[in-house]
Protein backbone atom coordinates (compact mmCIF):
# COMPACT_ATOMS: atom_id res chain seq x y z
CA UNK A 1 0.00 0.00 0.00
CA UNK A 2 2.83 2.33 0.95
CA UNK A 3 4.54 1.66 -2.35
CA UNK A 4 1.29 2.13 -4.25
CA UNK A 5 0.85 5.49 -2.54
CA UNK A 6 4.42 6.47 -3.37
CA UNK A 7 3.90 5.49 -6.99
CA UNK A 8 0.60 7.43 -7.07
CA UNK A 9 2.38 10.59 -5.94
CA UNK A 10 5.32 10.06 -8.30
CA UNK A 11 7.61 9.06 -5.46
CA UNK A 12 8.84 5.79 -6.96
CA UNK A 13 12.37 6.44 -5.83
CA UNK A 14 11.47 7.30 -2.28
CA UNK A 15 13.43 5.06 0.06
CA UNK A 16 11.65 2.87 2.55
CA UNK A 17 11.60 4.49 5.97
CA UNK A 18 11.25 1.78 8.56
CA UNK A 19 10.66 2.60 12.18
CA UNK A 20 11.18 -0.70 13.91
CA UNK A 21 10.75 0.97 17.33
CA UNK A 22 7.07 1.65 16.70
CA UNK A 23 4.95 0.37 19.58
CA UNK A 24 2.30 -1.11 17.27
CA UNK A 25 4.72 -3.65 15.87
CA UNK A 26 4.49 -7.06 17.50
CA UNK A 27 8.24 -7.02 18.00
CA UNK A 28 7.66 -4.15 20.47
CA UNK A 29 4.65 -5.71 22.19
CA UNK A 30 1.96 -4.68 19.66
CA UNK A 31 -0.79 -7.06 18.52
CA UNK A 32 0.56 -9.54 15.97
CA UNK A 33 -1.18 -9.94 12.61
CA UNK A 34 -1.45 -13.70 13.04
CA UNK A 35 -1.82 -15.94 16.04
CA UNK A 36 -3.10 -19.00 14.21
CA UNK A 37 -0.43 -21.72 13.91
CA UNK A 38 0.82 -22.70 10.46
CA UNK A 39 -0.05 -26.18 9.22
CA UNK A 40 2.51 -28.88 8.48
CA UNK A 41 2.98 -30.26 4.99
CA UNK A 42 0.91 -33.39 5.67
CA UNK A 43 -0.75 -34.67 2.50
CA UNK A 44 -1.79 -38.14 3.57
CA UNK A 45 -5.50 -38.85 3.11
CA UNK A 46 -7.88 -41.80 3.40
CA UNK A 47 -6.55 -43.31 0.15
CA UNK A 48 -3.00 -43.57 1.52
CA UNK A 49 -4.30 -44.98 4.80
CA UNK A 50 -6.28 -47.71 2.98
CA UNK A 51 -3.29 -48.46 0.77
CA UNK A 52 -1.03 -48.85 3.81
CA UNK A 53 -3.56 -51.21 5.38
CA UNK A 54 -3.85 -53.15 2.10
CA UNK A 55 -0.08 -53.66 2.14
CA UNK A 56 -0.07 -54.69 5.80
CA UNK A 57 -2.99 -57.09 5.27
CA UNK A 58 -1.12 -58.74 2.39
CA UNK A 59 1.14 -60.20 5.05
CA UNK A 60 4.30 -58.98 3.31
CA UNK A 61 5.83 -55.80 4.65
CA UNK A 62 8.73 -56.38 2.27
CA UNK A 63 9.48 -59.10 -0.25
CA UNK A 64 13.03 -58.05 -1.04
CA UNK A 65 15.81 -60.57 -0.81
CA UNK A 66 19.45 -59.81 -1.60
CA UNK A 67 20.03 -62.65 -3.99
CA UNK A 68 19.80 -63.49 -7.70
CA UNK A 69 16.28 -64.83 -8.11
CA UNK A 70 15.43 -65.13 -11.82
CA UNK A 71 12.61 -67.62 -11.11
CA UNK A 72 10.98 -65.51 -8.43
CA UNK A 73 9.29 -62.36 -9.74
CA UNK A 74 9.66 -60.61 -6.39
CA UNK A 75 12.78 -61.35 -4.33
CA UNK A 76 15.53 -59.32 -5.98
CA UNK A 77 13.17 -56.66 -7.29
CA UNK A 78 10.83 -56.26 -4.31
CA UNK A 79 7.16 -57.00 -3.79
CA UNK A 80 4.07 -56.13 -5.86
CA UNK A 81 3.57 -52.68 -4.33
CA UNK A 82 7.19 -51.71 -4.96
CA UNK A 83 7.08 -52.96 -8.53
CA UNK A 84 3.70 -51.38 -9.26
CA UNK A 85 4.95 -48.04 -7.93
CA UNK A 86 7.96 -48.29 -10.21
CA UNK A 87 5.81 -49.11 -13.25
CA UNK A 88 3.43 -46.25 -12.50
CA UNK A 89 6.29 -43.83 -11.88
CA UNK A 90 7.89 -44.78 -15.22
CA UNK A 91 4.61 -44.33 -17.00
CA UNK A 92 4.05 -40.93 -15.43
CA UNK A 93 7.52 -39.61 -16.23
CA UNK A 94 7.66 -41.47 -19.57
CA UNK A 95 10.94 -43.19 -18.76
CA UNK A 96 11.96 -46.81 -19.20
CA UNK A 97 13.01 -47.55 -15.63
CA UNK A 98 12.15 -46.36 -12.14
CA UNK A 99 13.99 -47.79 -9.17
CA UNK A 100 12.53 -47.01 -5.76
CA UNK A 101 14.87 -46.31 -2.87
CA UNK A 102 14.41 -45.72 0.85
CA UNK A 103 15.44 -42.05 0.41
CA UNK A 104 16.74 -39.63 -2.18
CA UNK A 105 20.04 -39.67 -0.30
CA UNK A 106 20.26 -43.41 -1.05
CA UNK A 107 19.23 -42.62 -4.63
CA UNK A 108 22.07 -40.09 -5.03
CA UNK A 109 24.62 -42.46 -3.52
CA UNK A 110 23.40 -45.28 -5.75
CA UNK A 111 23.49 -42.99 -8.80
CA UNK A 112 27.15 -42.12 -8.24
CA UNK A 113 27.89 -45.81 -7.69
CA UNK A 114 25.97 -46.90 -10.77
CA UNK A 115 27.92 -44.46 -12.95
CA UNK A 116 31.16 -46.14 -11.87
CA UNK A 117 32.59 -42.99 -10.28
CA UNK A 118 35.39 -43.44 -7.77
CA UNK A 119 38.90 -42.55 -6.61
CA UNK A 120 40.61 -40.02 -8.84
CA UNK A 121 37.34 -38.64 -10.22
CA UNK A 122 35.78 -35.22 -9.68
CA UNK A 123 32.05 -34.51 -9.54
CA UNK A 124 30.79 -30.94 -9.91
CA UNK A 125 28.13 -30.06 -7.36
CA UNK A 126 26.30 -27.03 -6.02
CA UNK A 127 27.42 -25.68 -2.66
CA UNK A 128 23.97 -24.26 -2.00
CA UNK A 129 21.95 -27.38 -1.49
CA UNK A 130 21.38 -30.38 0.73
CA UNK A 131 24.53 -31.97 2.15
CA UNK A 132 23.97 -35.43 0.60
CA UNK A 133 24.66 -34.04 -2.89
CA UNK A 134 28.31 -33.44 -2.09
CA UNK A 135 28.59 -36.46 0.18
CA UNK A 136 27.51 -38.88 -2.58
CA UNK A 137 30.75 -38.75 -4.62
CA UNK A 138 32.87 -39.10 -1.48
CA UNK A 139 31.17 -42.35 -0.45
CA UNK A 140 32.87 -43.90 -3.50
CA UNK A 141 36.17 -42.06 -3.01
CA UNK A 142 35.61 -39.26 -5.54
CA UNK A 143 36.01 -35.54 -4.87
CA UNK A 144 33.18 -32.98 -4.94
CA UNK A 145 34.09 -29.77 -6.74
CA UNK A 146 31.87 -26.81 -5.97
CA UNK A 147 30.71 -24.59 -8.83
CA UNK A 148 28.91 -21.38 -7.98
CA UNK A 149 25.19 -20.73 -8.34
CA UNK A 150 23.46 -17.94 -10.23
CA UNK A 151 22.53 -15.11 -7.94
CA UNK A 152 19.13 -14.60 -9.55
CA UNK A 153 18.03 -18.25 -9.66
CA UNK A 154 20.03 -20.11 -7.02
CA UNK A 155 20.81 -22.87 -9.59
CA UNK A 156 24.24 -24.07 -10.68
CA UNK A 157 25.75 -21.48 -13.01
CA UNK A 158 26.77 -23.13 -16.33
CA UNK A 159 29.69 -20.69 -16.74
CA UNK A 160 31.02 -21.62 -13.32
CA UNK A 161 30.50 -25.34 -14.12
CA UNK A 162 32.55 -24.98 -17.27
CA UNK A 163 35.37 -23.22 -15.40
CA UNK A 164 35.60 -26.14 -12.98
CA UNK A 165 35.84 -28.90 -15.58
CA UNK A 166 39.12 -30.83 -15.73
CA UNK A 167 40.06 -34.11 -17.36
CA UNK A 168 39.03 -35.74 -14.06
CA UNK A 169 35.43 -34.48 -14.16
CA UNK A 170 33.14 -37.48 -14.52
CA UNK A 171 29.75 -36.05 -13.61
CA UNK A 172 27.75 -32.98 -12.76
CA UNK A 173 25.18 -33.39 -10.02
CA UNK A 174 22.57 -30.78 -10.92
CA UNK A 175 19.99 -29.85 -8.31
CA UNK A 176 16.69 -28.31 -9.37
CA UNK A 177 16.91 -26.23 -6.26
CA UNK A 178 13.71 -25.17 -4.49
CA UNK A 179 11.77 -26.74 -7.40
CA UNK A 180 13.12 -24.23 -9.95
CA UNK A 181 14.69 -26.03 -12.93
CA UNK A 182 18.36 -25.39 -13.67
CA UNK A 183 19.46 -24.33 -17.15
CA UNK A 184 19.31 -27.80 -18.72
CA UNK A 185 20.01 -26.49 -22.26
CA UNK A 186 23.44 -25.21 -21.27
CA UNK A 187 24.17 -28.03 -18.84
CA UNK A 188 23.39 -30.75 -21.38
CA UNK A 189 25.50 -28.89 -23.95
CA UNK A 190 28.40 -28.99 -21.50
CA UNK A 191 27.76 -32.67 -20.79
CA UNK A 192 27.95 -33.52 -24.48
CA UNK A 193 30.95 -31.26 -25.15
CA UNK A 194 33.07 -32.82 -22.38
CA UNK A 195 31.49 -36.29 -22.31
CA UNK A 196 30.32 -35.91 -18.72
CA UNK A 197 27.49 -37.80 -17.03
CA UNK A 198 24.56 -35.92 -15.49
CA UNK A 199 22.66 -36.77 -12.32
CA UNK A 200 19.62 -34.61 -11.73
CA UNK A 201 18.54 -34.13 -8.13
CA UNK A 202 14.78 -33.58 -8.33
CA UNK A 203 14.18 -34.09 -4.62
CA UNK A 204 12.51 -30.69 -4.45
CA UNK A 205 11.18 -30.62 -8.01
CA UNK A 206 8.41 -33.16 -8.58
CA UNK A 207 6.67 -32.29 -11.86
CA UNK A 208 8.92 -29.33 -12.62
CA UNK A 209 9.59 -28.93 -16.33
CA UNK A 210 12.21 -27.37 -18.57
CA UNK A 211 11.31 -26.84 -22.23
CA UNK A 212 8.11 -28.74 -21.54
CA UNK A 213 10.04 -31.85 -20.43
CA UNK A 214 10.12 -33.18 -16.87
CA UNK A 215 13.31 -32.48 -14.98
CA UNK A 216 14.97 -35.75 -14.12
CA UNK A 217 14.63 -36.95 -17.73
CA UNK A 218 17.48 -34.90 -19.26
CA UNK A 219 20.50 -36.56 -17.68
CA UNK A 220 21.58 -40.14 -17.05
CA UNK A 221 19.71 -40.55 -13.76
CA UNK A 222 17.07 -38.43 -12.01
CA UNK A 223 16.46 -38.72 -8.28
CA UNK A 224 13.26 -37.82 -6.40
CA UNK A 225 12.58 -37.67 -2.66
CA UNK A 226 9.48 -38.84 -0.83
CA UNK A 227 10.43 -37.49 2.59
CA UNK A 228 7.90 -35.70 4.78
CA UNK A 229 8.76 -32.23 3.49
CA UNK A 230 8.29 -33.01 -0.17
CA UNK A 231 5.36 -32.46 -2.52
CA UNK A 232 4.48 -36.14 -2.24
CA UNK A 233 5.63 -38.16 0.71
CA UNK A 234 5.76 -41.53 2.42
CA UNK A 235 7.69 -40.55 5.55
CA UNK A 236 10.98 -41.48 3.91
CA UNK A 237 11.54 -42.71 0.40
CA UNK A 238 12.96 -41.94 -3.01
CA UNK A 239 12.83 -42.92 -6.67
CA UNK A 240 15.58 -42.95 -9.32
CA UNK A 241 14.68 -42.78 -13.00
CA UNK A 242 16.74 -43.65 -16.06
CA UNK A 243 16.38 -44.80 -19.65
CA UNK A 244 19.52 -46.93 -19.54
CA UNK A 245 18.98 -50.63 -18.78
CA UNK A 246 22.50 -51.22 -17.42
CA UNK A 247 22.25 -48.20 -15.10
CA UNK A 248 18.85 -49.44 -13.95
CA UNK A 249 20.30 -52.86 -13.10
CA UNK A 250 23.27 -51.30 -11.32
CA UNK A 251 20.91 -49.13 -9.26
CA UNK A 252 18.96 -52.28 -8.34
CA UNK A 253 22.20 -54.06 -7.38
CA UNK A 254 23.38 -51.19 -5.18
CA UNK A 255 19.94 -50.98 -3.60
CA UNK A 256 19.95 -54.61 -2.64
CA UNK A 257 23.19 -56.35 -1.63
CA UNK A 258 24.49 -56.55 -5.17
CA UNK A 259 27.83 -58.08 -4.22
CA UNK A 260 25.93 -61.29 -3.41
CA UNK A 261 23.97 -61.09 -6.66
CA UNK A 262 26.55 -60.38 -9.36
CA UNK A 263 28.26 -63.78 -9.08
CA UNK A 264 25.17 -65.96 -9.62
CA UNK A 265 23.87 -63.43 -12.16
CA UNK A 266 27.14 -63.55 -14.12
CA UNK A 267 27.35 -59.74 -14.19
CA UNK A 268 30.90 -58.69 -15.01
CA UNK A 269 30.98 -54.94 -14.31
CA UNK A 270 31.30 -55.30 -10.56
CA UNK A 271 33.07 -51.98 -9.78
CA UNK A 272 31.12 -50.05 -7.13
CA UNK A 273 28.69 -52.91 -6.58
CA UNK A 274 28.89 -52.77 -2.83
CA UNK A 275 25.24 -53.42 -2.26
CA UNK A 276 23.49 -51.54 0.49
CA UNK A 277 20.00 -51.98 1.82
CA UNK A 278 18.23 -49.01 0.21
CA UNK A 279 14.92 -50.87 -0.14
CA UNK A 280 11.50 -49.30 0.21
CA UNK A 281 8.89 -51.26 2.16
CA UNK A 282 5.61 -52.46 0.68
CA UNK A 283 3.71 -50.10 2.99
CA UNK A 284 5.64 -47.05 1.82
CA UNK A 285 5.32 -48.11 -1.82
CA UNK A 286 1.55 -48.56 -1.44
CA UNK A 287 1.26 -45.06 0.00
CA UNK A 288 3.53 -43.63 -2.69
CA UNK A 289 1.24 -45.02 -5.41
CA UNK A 290 -1.65 -43.04 -3.94
CA UNK A 291 0.49 -39.94 -3.53
CA UNK A 292 1.57 -40.16 -7.16
CA UNK A 293 -2.10 -40.06 -8.19
CA UNK A 294 -2.39 -36.77 -6.29
CA UNK A 295 0.84 -35.14 -7.40
CA UNK A 296 -0.82 -32.85 -9.95
CA UNK A 297 -3.48 -31.66 -7.54
CA UNK A 298 -0.98 -31.13 -4.73
CA UNK A 299 1.31 -29.23 -7.07
CA UNK A 300 -1.41 -27.00 -8.41
CA UNK A 301 -2.67 -26.23 -4.88
CA UNK A 302 0.87 -25.22 -3.98
CA UNK A 303 1.30 -23.16 -7.15
CA UNK A 304 -1.88 -21.25 -6.43
CA UNK A 305 -0.32 -20.10 -3.15
CA UNK A 306 3.01 -19.36 -4.84
CA UNK A 307 1.37 -17.19 -7.50
CA UNK A 308 -0.69 -15.38 -4.88
CA UNK A 309 2.38 -14.61 -2.78
CA UNK A 310 4.35 -13.52 -5.87
CA UNK A 311 1.50 -11.22 -6.90
CA UNK A 312 1.27 -9.69 -3.45
CA UNK A 313 5.03 -9.25 -3.17
CA UNK A 314 5.20 -7.50 -6.52
CA UNK A 315 4.98 -4.14 -4.80
CA UNK A 316 7.65 -4.87 -2.23
CA UNK A 317 10.77 -3.80 -4.06
CA UNK A 318 13.29 -5.13 -1.57
CA UNK A 319 11.93 -8.71 -1.67
CA UNK A 320 12.70 -10.37 -4.99
CA UNK A 321 11.61 -13.99 -5.56
CA UNK A 322 14.28 -16.19 -7.13
CA UNK A 323 13.83 -15.94 -10.87
CA UNK A 324 12.13 -18.70 -12.79
CA UNK A 325 13.64 -19.40 -16.19
CA UNK A 326 11.40 -18.52 -19.15
CA UNK A 327 11.43 -22.07 -20.45
CA UNK A 328 10.74 -23.55 -17.02
CA UNK A 329 7.69 -24.63 -15.09
CA UNK A 330 8.80 -24.48 -11.47
CA UNK A 331 7.00 -26.35 -8.74
CA UNK A 332 8.37 -24.61 -5.60
CA UNK A 333 9.51 -26.70 -2.68
CA UNK A 334 9.59 -23.47 -0.69
CA UNK A 335 9.20 -19.81 -1.63
CA UNK A 336 12.77 -18.48 -1.98
CA UNK A 337 13.33 -14.72 -2.10
CA UNK A 338 16.22 -12.29 -2.00
CA UNK A 339 16.23 -9.49 0.53
CA UNK A 340 17.86 -6.41 -1.00
CA UNK A 341 19.23 -4.45 1.94
CA UNK A 342 20.33 -1.52 -0.22
CA UNK A 343 16.68 -0.89 -1.15
CA UNK A 344 15.17 -1.75 2.23
CA UNK A 345 17.61 0.33 4.24
CA UNK A 346 17.50 -2.13 7.17
CA UNK A 347 19.23 -5.44 7.71
CA UNK A 348 17.72 -8.78 6.72
CA UNK A 349 18.02 -9.91 10.31
CA UNK A 350 16.01 -6.99 11.74
CA UNK A 351 13.39 -7.31 9.00
CA UNK A 352 12.94 -11.04 9.65
CA UNK A 353 12.66 -10.50 13.41
CA UNK A 354 9.93 -7.92 12.87
CA UNK A 355 8.02 -10.09 10.35
CA UNK A 356 8.28 -13.22 12.47
CA UNK A 357 7.01 -11.37 15.54
CA UNK A 358 3.82 -10.76 13.50
CA UNK A 359 3.30 -14.55 13.37
CA UNK A 360 5.09 -15.37 10.12
CA UNK A 361 7.99 -17.80 9.71
CA UNK A 362 10.71 -16.37 7.48
CA UNK A 363 14.01 -18.27 7.60
CA UNK A 364 17.25 -16.43 7.25
CA UNK A 365 19.33 -18.06 4.50
CA UNK A 366 19.03 -21.71 3.54
CA UNK A 367 22.02 -23.98 4.21
CA UNK A 368 25.51 -22.62 4.71
CA UNK A 369 27.53 -23.18 1.50
CA UNK A 370 28.52 -26.78 1.97
CA UNK A 371 32.28 -26.22 1.84
CA UNK A 372 32.00 -24.35 5.17
CA UNK A 373 31.34 -27.67 6.89
CA UNK A 374 34.15 -29.35 8.83
CA UNK A 375 34.34 -32.31 6.45
CA UNK A 376 35.67 -29.96 3.73
CA UNK A 377 37.53 -27.50 5.95
CA UNK A 378 39.42 -30.37 7.59
CA UNK A 379 39.41 -32.57 4.49
CA UNK A 380 38.45 -35.50 6.64
CA UNK A 381 35.59 -37.88 5.99
CA UNK A 382 37.05 -41.32 6.68
CA UNK A 383 40.06 -42.35 8.73
CA UNK A 384 43.35 -40.75 7.68
CA UNK A 385 41.61 -38.06 5.67
CA UNK A 386 40.10 -40.31 3.01
CA UNK A 387 38.93 -39.73 0.37
CA UNK A 388 40.84 -36.42 0.17
CA UNK A 389 44.17 -37.99 1.10
CA UNK A 390 43.94 -40.91 -1.34
CA UNK A 391 46.88 -41.00 -3.72
CA UNK A 392 44.52 -41.20 -6.72
CA UNK A 393 42.94 -37.93 -5.60
CA UNK A 394 46.15 -35.93 -5.40
CA UNK A 395 45.91 -33.50 -8.29
CA UNK A 396 42.15 -33.01 -7.86
CA UNK A 397 41.34 -29.34 -7.38
CA UNK A 398 40.21 -29.56 -3.76
CA UNK A 399 39.82 -25.89 -2.97
CA UNK A 400 37.31 -25.41 -0.17
CA UNK A 401 38.43 -21.94 0.91
CA UNK A 402 35.76 -19.56 2.09
CA UNK A 403 34.99 -17.22 -0.80
CA UNK A 404 35.17 -19.78 -3.64
CA UNK A 405 31.47 -19.39 -4.50
CA UNK A 406 30.65 -15.72 -3.94
CA UNK A 407 27.05 -15.93 -5.17
CA UNK A 408 26.18 -18.84 -2.87
CA UNK A 409 27.74 -16.93 0.01
CA UNK A 410 25.93 -13.70 -0.84
CA UNK A 411 22.62 -15.52 -1.08
CA UNK A 412 23.09 -17.34 2.18
CA UNK A 413 24.77 -14.76 4.37
CA UNK A 414 23.14 -11.57 3.03
CA UNK A 415 20.05 -12.07 0.94
CA UNK A 416 18.11 -15.32 1.07
CA UNK A 417 14.82 -15.63 2.89
CA UNK A 418 12.95 -18.93 2.71
CA UNK A 419 9.28 -19.28 3.44
CA UNK A 420 7.34 -22.55 3.68
CA UNK A 421 3.81 -21.21 4.01
CA UNK A 422 3.14 -21.93 0.33
CA UNK A 423 2.60 -25.58 1.20
CA UNK A 424 -0.95 -26.93 1.34
CA UNK A 425 -3.09 -27.21 3.41
CA UNK A 426 -2.44 -23.46 3.75
CA UNK A 427 -4.94 -21.36 1.80
CA UNK A 428 -4.84 -17.97 0.07
CA UNK A 429 -6.13 -16.29 3.25
CA UNK A 430 -3.10 -17.57 5.08
CA UNK A 431 -0.84 -16.13 2.43
CA UNK A 432 -2.45 -12.73 2.83
CA UNK A 433 -1.20 -12.68 6.44
CA UNK A 434 2.34 -12.62 5.09
CA UNK A 435 1.78 -9.52 3.05
CA UNK A 436 -0.28 -7.87 5.79
CA UNK A 437 2.65 -8.33 8.15
CA UNK A 438 5.15 -6.93 5.66
CA UNK A 439 2.93 -3.97 4.88
CA UNK A 440 2.38 -3.28 8.57
CA UNK A 441 6.13 -3.08 9.08
CA UNK A 442 6.57 -0.89 5.99
CA UNK A 443 3.77 1.48 6.97
CA UNK A 444 4.93 1.98 10.52
C1 LIG B 1 17.97 -31.16 -2.87
C2 LIG B 1 17.87 -32.38 -2.01
N3 LIG B 1 18.54 -33.47 -2.34
C4 LIG B 1 18.48 -34.59 -1.61
C5 LIG B 1 17.71 -34.65 -0.47
C6 LIG B 1 17.69 -35.92 0.32
O7 LIG B 1 16.40 -36.41 0.37
P8 LIG B 1 15.99 -37.58 1.39
O9 LIG B 1 15.59 -36.92 2.67
O10 LIG B 1 14.87 -38.28 0.73
O11 LIG B 1 17.17 -38.45 1.57
C12 LIG B 1 16.98 -33.54 -0.08
C13 LIG B 1 16.17 -33.57 1.15
O14 LIG B 1 15.76 -32.60 1.70
C15 LIG B 1 17.06 -32.37 -0.85
O16 LIG B 1 16.37 -31.28 -0.54
Highest mean pLDDT, choosing among 17-26, 38-47, 354-363 = 354-363
In a domain, 399, yes or no: no
Does any domain span residue 383? no
**Is residue 129 lining ligand 1, measured as CB closer than 6 Å?**
yes
The domain boundary, picked from 292, 315, 338, lies at 292
For residue 263, give the CATH number of its domain.
3.40.640.10
**Confidence band of 298 (pLDDT split at 50, 70, 90):** very high
Per-residue model confidence as pLDDT tens digits over 353-385: 999 999 999 999 999 999 999 999 999 999 999
Could you tell which of 102, 125, 204, 370 is best to mutate to test the pocket of ligand 1, judged by most ligand atoms within 8 Å of the CB?
204
- 331, 428: one domain: yes
155 lines ligand 1 (CB under 6 A): no
Is the pLDDT confidence value at 121 over 60? yes
* pLDDT given for residue 17 in this prediction: 85
- Looking at 269, 292, 315, the residue that finishes a domain is 292
Same domain, 157 and 62: yes
Domain-located, residue 378:
no
Using one digit for the tens of pLDDT, what is the confidence trace for 210-225?
999 999 999 999 999 9
The CATH number assigned to the domain holding 412 equals 3.90.1150.10
Q: How many domains does the chain have?
A: 2
Average pLDDT over residues 136-152: 98
- pLDDT more than 90, % of the chain: 94
> What is the number of the ligand 1 atom nearest to the C-alpha of 238?
10
The answer to whether residues 250 and 314 belong to one domain is no
pLDDT of 133 = 98
Task: State yes or no: pLDDT of 11 exceeds 60.
Answer: no
Q: Are residues 7 and 67 in the same domain?
A: no
Structural contact between residues 280 and 110, judged by C-beta atoms closer than 8 angstroms:
no
pLDDT value of position 15: 66
Domain co-membership, 26 together with 101: no
The ligand 1 atom nearest the CA atom of 108:
4
Q: What is the pLDDT of residue 82?
A: 98
**Whether residues 415 and 310 fall in one domain:** yes
Do the domain assignments include residue 374?
no
pLDDT (0 to 100) of residue 12:
45
CB 41 near ligand 1, within 6 Å: no
- The more confident residue out of 173 and 444 is 173
Instruction: Check residue 444 and give its pLDDT.
Output: 81
Has residue 153 been placed in a domain? yes
* Nearest atom, ligand 1, residue 175 CA: 1
Q: Is the CB of 431 under 6 A from ligand 1?
A: no
The larger pLDDT score, comparing residue 443 to residue 120, is at 120
The per-residue pLDDT for 6 is 43
The stretch 75-87 carries a mean pLDDT of 97
How far is the centre of ligand 1, averaged over its atoms, from the C-alpha of 101 (Å)? 12
Q: Is the C-beta atom of 182 inside 6 A of ligand 1?
A: no
Could you read off the pLDDT of 248-258 as tens digits, one per residue? 999 999 999 99
The mean pLDDT value for 279-283 works out to 98
Q: What is the pLDDT of residue 333?
A: 96
Residue ending a domain, choose from 243, 265, 292:
292
Q: Is there a domain that residue 390 lies in?
A: no
pLDDT at residue 154 above 70?
yes
Q: What is the mean pLDDT of residues 391-415?
A: 97
Q: Is 409 in the pocket of ligand 1 (CB under 6 A)?
A: no
What is residue 5's predicted lDDT score, i.e. its pLDDT?
46
Write out the residue range of the structural domain in which residue 64 sits. 46-292
Ligand 1 center to 168 CA (angstroms): 26
Question: Is 203 found in the same domain as 218?
Answer: yes
Pair (22, 72) in one structural domain: no
**128 shares its domain with 223:** yes
Residue of the nearest CA to atom 9 in ligand 1?
227
Residues 190 and 265 in one domain: yes
User: Does a structural domain hold residue 419?
Assistant: yes
Query: Do the domain assignments include residue 373?
Result: no
Q: Are residues 212 and 67 in the same domain?
A: yes
Q: What is the pTM of this model?
A: 0.95
State yes or no: pLDDT of 10 exceeds 50.
Answer: no
Residue 72 and residue 206 in one domain: yes
Amino acid sequence: MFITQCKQYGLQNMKYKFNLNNKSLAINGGKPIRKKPWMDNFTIGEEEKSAAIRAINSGYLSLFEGSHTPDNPFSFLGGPEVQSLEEEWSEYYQVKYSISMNSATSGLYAAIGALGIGFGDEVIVSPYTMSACAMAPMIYGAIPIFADVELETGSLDPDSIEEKITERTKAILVVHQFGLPADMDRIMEIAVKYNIRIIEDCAQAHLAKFNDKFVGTFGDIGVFSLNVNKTIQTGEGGVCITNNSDLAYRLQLIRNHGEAVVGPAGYENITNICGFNYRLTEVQAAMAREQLKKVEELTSNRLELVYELSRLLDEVEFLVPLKERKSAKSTYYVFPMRFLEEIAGITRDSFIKAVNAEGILFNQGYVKPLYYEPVYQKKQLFKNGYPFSASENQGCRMNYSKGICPNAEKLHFDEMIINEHIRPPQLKNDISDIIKSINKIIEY
